[in-house]
Structure 1
Amino acid sequence: MVASLVLAAEWGLRSAGWLTEPTSGASLRLTAAALSLCPAMSILGAKRPQHGVWQLIVGALAVILVLPGLSTALTRPGSVPDLHLLERCFLLFLALVGWINFIATGNGIAATLMTIGQLLLIRGFLPGVASDSAFAPPGPLLETQAARDALAAVTLAVGSVLACLVSARKKRLSSQENPLDFAARVNRPFLALRETFGAAWTLRIAERFDAIAASRGWPCRLGFLGLKCLGEPGEGAWQRDASRTLTALFRRFVTDRWLARHGWPMNISN
């Protein structure tokens, strides 16, 4: 969201005549790139209680990514920030990390569109791309740059809207499931957590739950697609124990209010 505002600010300043030279907006573009890519790293540190410290680390990362742009704007106004090859590779790495984390989820298409938009947005700072030519002076190249910027904005917007539509659809479908079915009760918050935090933490939660389930002999297994009961699940004390275990695992990432909003019966796990 902040990155989109920075990009909109760049376009607004250009329209107002403040950024007459295309290269003068390169620093703003680098700022937008850093702000759009850091959330991918932020999600990887979502586990509590260390999530607060991790956000400080991500904030420091954002500052480091923006520093070349700030330095150029202050010392060489109108110039294009000069990024080292390692910095360029790291920007590409951040974009791919976010995409890989969500490609297998229900938001896979949205993640792909948003990653394409991000890569178009930061194309001038990618490995093998000459930054000076990416921010061209007035002429045919500038028209091409404007077209790519417009395409980046469209793909980012479509990806965001698609993610919202997918979330609304999944919420509507989950509300129609049988509330008495234990697997359905588990899958509603679990799959919502998968769509929120991606594959990395979802697989970790499933791995931890399955280890406990195997040690205690519970007739169920938790996978990337949700909970599967082995044989006839029926009613039993194991369901209450499993609910307590899942609540403890969920609380490492989300609040009780979030769980209640996604249909997790907190009274069962108490």
Structure 2
Amino acid sequence: MFLLAQLQLDPGWLTALASLLMGIAGVVLLWRGRTALRGTTLVLPWAWSLLAWLALCGSEIAIGVMQWWEVSHSDDQIRYLAAMTLFCPQLSQVGAKRPQWIAWQGVVAILLLVLWAPVFQVWAFSSIGHVAPGWIWGMFLAALILAGFLNNFPTRFSPTALCLAVAQINMTYYYLPLTTTEVSVKASLIAMALGLIGIGSAIQGGLGRPENLRAEDRAWIDFRDSFGAFWAARVMLRVNDSAARYEWGLWLSWNGFHQVEIVGSLPEFREGVSEALISCLRKLLGDFVDDAWLDARLPRPNKRKKGLEDLEA
């Protein structure tokens, strides 16, 4: 990638071929990674990721082929349309909660159309004009990049979050504040290379999960890393509220559960707290994952035990 940054490239058959090869590699990796999301509401963010990857690679293929055939076209319009799709997976992730997770995809599609508005505006006046949405729009794009980065960087998939953020900057830096250089074919190829690295890192499990975790910690960390900081903070708040209300003597932090009063308590109380905690986690995480995902990480609660579980919606 360092060598790519040093090259002077113009769109043509060579850049189209490079984009095609990276595109095929990315599709293969994404297709392999879909099985890890089975049983979760992340299947739709995965679909948006596939669409964004095809748009990113396909745009540069189209530009290279049209340049090779000397067909009149506007590079910045095509690249801008492709760049905006990179925000869709993260926006879809924010709405990955049942029962609204399917309807939320309509919101993502509408927002994508809004992000495409500067190109529609150019088409309304001149089909070959340059996209210049202004600094306020650039601030909005910068806020989207930062929000997506902060949502996933604190997880074990931080390399993927970093690669995606840098790829988004590479594809949008012309529209961001205090920049004037147009997005080039080299920037697009670097964005694709970063995207490929990010996809590969995610498929390999990111930075890896700690070993020898308790069941509740394993479920929590897997959920936290998969769904990001936004939903993790919501679940953490709900669990800690239940722990305080029912006096479980524990609290949930970013890295797992911590006991504060339970040590030395009666075995019956410890068993009851464990059953209550499992019931609470299964209820909260059940809005995002199915029973098979939960069964692989958490035991099923003993339905004969009552009095401690938090079953409020």
* CA shift in 2, pair 1:208/1:269, >3 Å: farther
2:163 paired with 1:163: no
Three-state SS of the structure 2 residue aligned to 1:166 is coil
What is the CA RMSD across the aligned residues, in angstroms?
A: 2.6
Instruction: Give the structure with the higher percent helix.
Output: 1
The equivalent of 2:27 in structure 1 is none
* CA shift in 2, pair 1:116/1:232, >3 Å: farther
2:229 paired with 1:202: no
The equivalent of 1:246 in structure 2 is 281
The farther-off stretch of 151-160 and 14-23 is 14-23
Give distance in 2, aligned partners of 1:98 and 1:185.
29
The equivalent of 2:182 in structure 1 is 134
1:75 Cα deviation from its structure 2 partner: 4.5
2:135 paired with 1:85: yes
* Superposition map of 1:46-195 within 5 A: 46-73=96-123, 75-130=125-180, 133-134=181-182, 145-167=184-206, 169-170=208-209, 174=211, 177=212, 184-195=214-225
AA matched with 2:287: R
Give distance in 1, aligned partners of 2:218 and 2:52.
31
Conserved? CA contact 2:160–2:206, under 8 Å: no
Identity, in percent, stands at 23
* CA shift in 2, pair 1:22/1:169, >3 Å: farther
The equivalent of 1:138 in structure 2 is none
| Higher RCO by CA contacts (8 Å cutoff, separation 6 or greater) | 2
Give distance in 2, aligned partners of 1:111 and 1:85.
25
Three-state SS of the structure 1 residue aligned to 2:129 is coil
* CA shift in 2, pair 1:161/1:76, >3 Å: same
Give the total of aligned pairs: 248
- What TM-score do you get using the length of structure 1 for normalisation? 0.81
The equivalent of 1:142 in structure 2 is none
Give distance in 1, aligned partners of 2:55 and 2:243.
48
* CA shift in 2, pair 1:269/1:18, >3 Å: farther
Three-state SS of the structure 2 residue aligned to 1:68 is helix
AA matched with 1:205: V
Conserved? CA contact 2:151–2:230, under 8 Å: yes
- What TM-score do you get using the length of structure 2 for normalisation? 0.71
Question: Which consecutive residues of structure 1, in runs of 5 or more, have no partner in the other structure?
Answer: 136-144, 178-182
